[in-house]
Amino acid sequence: MKFSLISAVALLAAASTVEAAAPLKDLASKKGIYIGAALGNGNLADAEFVKILKREFNHITPENSMKWEVTEPSPATFSFGLGDEIVEAALAQKAKLRGHTLVWHSQLAPWVNQATWTKANLTYAIERHIKAVAGYYNNVPLDHWDVVNEVISDSNGLPRDSVFLKTFGSVDAYVELAFRLAKKYAPKSKLYINDYNMEGEAIAKSDALYELTKRLLKKGVPIDGVGAQGHMLVGQVPSNITAVLEKFTKLGVDVAITELDIRATLPFTQDKLDQQGKDYEAVFRACLAVKRCKGITLWGITDKYSWIPGVFPTEGAALVWDENYQPKPAYDGIVRALTTKAPASYTKPGKGKN
Ligand SMILES: *[C@@H]1O[C@H](CO)[C@@H](O)[C@H](O)[C@H]1NC(C)=O
Ligand SMILES: *[C@@H]1O[C@H](CO)[C@@H](O)[C@H](O)[C@H]1NC(C)=O
């Protein structure tokens, strides 16, 4: 690692910003919400990462280590070692946990996609999986579980194509099954349906998720909450997330922002980072404005390990700390949202975008 005079000066300036405010988790607690971070197992070997995690966050989501491909890589063979590491890290700092995720078409063990299923034997396999995984972690217990993930597609709010949809014939059928089983084996967790690109008004996907949740609740399916992932773009945060979250809570469920990151396009100019600060502020204010919004989880801490450049090569800088662990304007945006009253433009319709 190279240390120039300039970076040492920047370090001092940045450090004073951090020390000016109480840890984010204290500010968030005072407002009645939690603040979480997703982490991979490798992050735990990075002392700087762990330092920030401990200081700032009181909720943790395992980024990958409770997914099907990790927990049941071959039929009825279960693996909890990686998940346990994240659980231990969380318990060591008295953070709560969000389990992620039980039934998802992606990062699914290949054998599930490759097999030929009938409804009966896929039901058996799903129950075996949820019983083992949710049952295992029910001893911790996990605060929240993302029971199903991304069941609505990006095309016009149609159900997501998957082995689950193909076998069961309807999204309602397998989502209902997953929730009923999760309730049976993880009775201590709040059970969430989780998706992305549903934070804006008048989006087919958001409406489809709303209608699905409504239909299932009507049938008595034990859904406790709706997770809005919150993968967003700088300058394009939906104008009224509050309205969308509120609409869901009126169904009688909690909501949470579960995977927040706000990515910029290259080049990452100061203007974009400043806008990003306002965008983070807007998302936090949106959650704070909704009584049943329980908290916000960031999909990582530092740009050093963000998933974005790997998937969107011309985008990145999506998180709150930069690659050298310096807090960005996003940090100040979060502090503003947690410590100051919303300006009039946040609450009066028709004034300002966010
Ligand atoms: C499910 O049952 C069908 C019909 O009996 C069978 O063809 C298929 O191989 C079974 N799949 C698995 C994964 O056991
Ligand atoms: C956003 O939605 C909330 C809740 O429905 C409403 O009170 C508020 O006026 C809206 N704000 C804007 C700017 O439209």
- The pLDDT, as a whole number, for residue 17 is 53
Q: Is 354 inside any structural domain?
A: no
Catalytic residue among 63, 72, 176, 259: 259
**Digitized pLDDT (tens) for each residue of the chain, 354 residues in all:** 333 444 444 444 444 454 457 999 999 999 999 999 999 999 999 999 999 999 999 999 999 999 999 999 999 999 999 999 999 999 999 999 999 999 999 999 999 999 999 999 999 999 999 999 999 999 999 999 999 999 999 989 999 999 999 999 999 999 999 999 999 999 999 999 999 999 998 899 999 999 999 999 999 999 999 999 999 999 999 989 999 999 999 999 999 999 999 999 999 999 999 999 999 999 999 999 999 999 999 999 999 999 999 999 999 999 999 999 999 999 999 999 999 998 766 554 433 333
Whether 145 and 98 have beta carbons less than 8 Å apart is answered as yes
Give a yes or no: residue 349 inside a domain: no
> What's the 115 CA to ligand 1 centre distance in angstroms?
8
Query: CB of 240 closer than 6 A to ligand 2?
Result: yes
121 close to ligand 1 (CB < 6 Angstrom)? yes
Residue-number span of the structural domain to which 278 is assigned: 3-339
How far is Cα 321 from Cα 280, in angstroms, rounded to an integer? Answer: 12
For residue 347, tell me if it sits in a domain: no
Q: Is residue 353 part of a domain?
A: no
Say which residue the tokens 């946990």 belong to.
97
Considering only CA atoms, which residue is closest to atom 14 of ligand 1?
121
Q: What was the pLDDT predicted at 345?
A: 62
Determine the distance separating the centroid of ligand 1 and the alpha carbon of 105, expressed in angstroms. 19
User: Is 277 within a domain?
Assistant: yes
Distance (Å, whole) CA 337 – CA 335: 5
User: What is the CATH number for 327?
Assistant: 3.20.20.80
Neighbours of 285 (CB within 10 A): 23
- The reply to whether 348 falls in a domain is no
Q: Which of 108, 117, 167 to mutate to test the pocket of ligand 1 (most atoms within 8 A of CB)?
A: 117
CA 39 to CA 85: how far, in whole Å?
11
- Residue 201 annotated as catalytic: no
Other Cβ atoms less than 10 A from the Cβ of 278: the count is 20
For the chain, the domain total comes to 1
Structure tokens of 37? 């971070």
Atom from ligand 2 closest to the CA of residue 351: 13
User: For residue 173, with 0-12 CB atoms within 10 Å meaning exposed, 13-18 middle and 19 or more buried, which class applies?
Assistant: middle
For residues 175, 284, 200, 260, the Cα torsion angle rounded to the nearest 10 degrees is -60
Please give the model's pTM, rounded to 2 decimal places.
Answer: 0.92
Beta carbon of 114 within 6 Å of any ligand 1 atom: no
